[in-house]
Chain A
Amino acid sequence: MARELSQRADIRSEIMEINLGPHHPSTHGVFRAIVELDGEIVLSCTPYLGYLHRGYEKTCENKKYHQVIPLTERCDYMGASSNSLAYCLTVEKMLEVEIPERAQVIRVIMAELSRIFSHLFWLGTHGHDIGAMTPLFYMLREREEIMNLFELTAGGRLMPNYIRIGGVAKDLEEGFIDRLRAFTNHFDTRVDEYETLLTKNIIYMDRTKGIGLLPLEKAISLGVSGPMIRASGKAWDIRKSEPYCGYERYDFDVPVEYGCDVYSRYLVRVAEMRQSNRILKQAIHQLPEGPFIAMAPGKIFPPQQDIYTKMESLIHHFMLVVEGVRLPVGDCYQSIESPRGELGCYIVSDGGTNPYRLKWRAPAFVNLQALPEMSKGCFFADLIAILSSIDIVLAEVDR
């Protein structure tokens, strides 16, 4: 129908080129695209990136291994804990340290909270992009609760900077588990509430069903991962296929949709929030007593309390700060399922105290590459819906 509308013989038309962004509210950052329009129909869309390029990988090459952690969280600030988790897992794999049970469960809690956190904000802004103003206010309410949880135990609200090589920075704050339990108990009913706003909303369905089609074959060839590929009909979740942090001990489903469109991506993300809540409930139940960071002198920072009371711990801490940890020569790739897809970290070590090379496989960067493919032949207004359905974080795209 779209094509017929634009090709009427009695109307003179020529191709128009317009500039979307870099400062457009729908781009959630600074992203620019040159869009060629035939009437209202998008003929082609050429993305221009790099407005937020900060030389992240180069900076990492010049930092010690422990100093990289806060930098990673500034890549994808929406799912901050996932980033530091991916990085720490890679370093731990090279150091071959065993992570204590309690730390594993705390990491899962942080990772799942940041997944809900990210999906909530996505849902709010996605509705906003399409013209539904209300959802954002609902989402921000629960997002605030999660930020309070982060603040309680880690100090930071947006970027907790809580995960460390070998475990987590400190033990959970008193009262954290009670407040987390209260959150998980009411969160499912909150998701029901969100669904009343959009899932059966006829305007929303008209705007999103059949829009931004990405067939599975294309999705795989384009390297798309995360909720986007699950909305194209592939139940691929790294938490299931290559479990890390003990995800194999949790009982959860991988939501799949077969519509390949914006609406399917919405359904997958909403279902994922419910699954994350399910994982959180099990994590509270599983949380064992014990140390929150591995004991590996010379490799991992000792707990703060020990530094004040034990001579050896003080020496190890001093040496780690002054010299840093040395990783064995070699390379390693480790990936996790971040809220946006496969988040991977590839480290090459020359045996020194800095990464010789650190390559960040950012899911938003790869997923964004599918935009021209998905937007061809749709209305310009739909381009905004499609862009929003990718769930990009520009800080991660440009690094």
Chain B
Amino acid sequence: MNQDHIKEKLSEKFGADALQFETCPGQMSILVPSEKILDICRYLRDDPELKFDFLTFVGGVDYYPAKPRFELVYQIYSVSNIQRLRLKSRVDETDAGPACIQSVSKVWMTADWHERETAEMFGVVFRGHPDPRKLLLPDEWRVHPLRKDFPLLGTEEDTPDLPS
């Protein structure tokens, strides 16, 4: 199982136009459309050849002020094939509401806490998450600390220690 083979299988299933392959030294990463994330993840886990059964982490990156603003990173691993793969997906806030993407916690149970953490840190909504509470931050906080426009030191007005 090498990288080209994974590439081939994915392009065949989802169409080569939809996926953008990036090459990093010794690692493979694919930019996928955000609306397809759940399908792709399910396919990667269930395909008997690929068998990406282990989700290492879900994280987010804020590219403020670029558009689209957020990039979600899914680092996955196949325990039996010893193969790593990184999926990335870009989402953005709209006037209608916050950035959102489908939750993959149905595919890998471990995504639960990772998504809760990413949601509170970046203000991204994971649709279909079984338990969308805050994880590390106090419940009353309305701010998202890992966003790039969040002040590191803060002023008296925008230090969110107390609920307003």
Contacts and interface: CB of A to CB of B under 8 A. Distances in A.
A331 B79 contact: no
A253 interface: no
A346 B152 contact: no
Contacts of B18: none
A368 to B, nearest CB: 8
B82 A333 contact: no
Interface in B41-61: 53-57, 59, 61
B84 A333 contact: yes
Contacts of B59: 346, 357, 359
B110 interface: yes
A187 interface: no
**What interface size band does chain B fall in?**
20 to 34
Interface stretch (A15-23, A203-211, A218-226, A312-320): A218-226
A197 interface: no
B25 A223 contact: no
Q: Which of A49, A333, A344, A361 has the most CB of B within 10 A?
A: A333
B73 A346 contact: yes
A321 interface: no
A242 B26 CA distance: 12
A50 interface: yes
Contacts of B112: 369
Contacts of A223: 54-56, 108-110
Nearest to A358: B59
Nearest to B137: A50
- Which of A62, A94, A218, A220 has the most B CB atoms < 10 Å from its CB? A220
Interface size class of A (residues with CB under 8 A): 35 or more
Nearest to B71: A348
Contacts of B110: 221-224, 366, 369
B27 interface: yes
Chain A contact surface mostly: mixed
Nearest to A236: B79
Interface in A322-354: 330-333, 335, 342, 344, 346, 348
B10 interface: no
Nearest to A369: B113
B146 interface: yes
B25 A366 contact: no
Contacts of B57: 344, 346, 359, 361, 366
A190 B112 CA distance: 41
B160 interface: no
A172 to B, nearest CB: 30
A333 B113 contact: no
B82 A220 contact: no
A57 B136 contact: no
Contact of A220 (B54, B134, B138): B54
Interface string A363-399: 0011001000000000000000000000000000011
Nearest to A217: B53
A50 B26 CA distance: 35
A53 B121 CA distance: 12
18 contacts: A50-B135, A58-B146, A58-B150, A218-B109, A220-B53, A221-B110, A222-B110, A236-B79, A330-B24, A333-B27, A333-B56, A335-B56, A357-B61, A359-B57, A361-B75, A366-B57, A366-B113, A369-B110
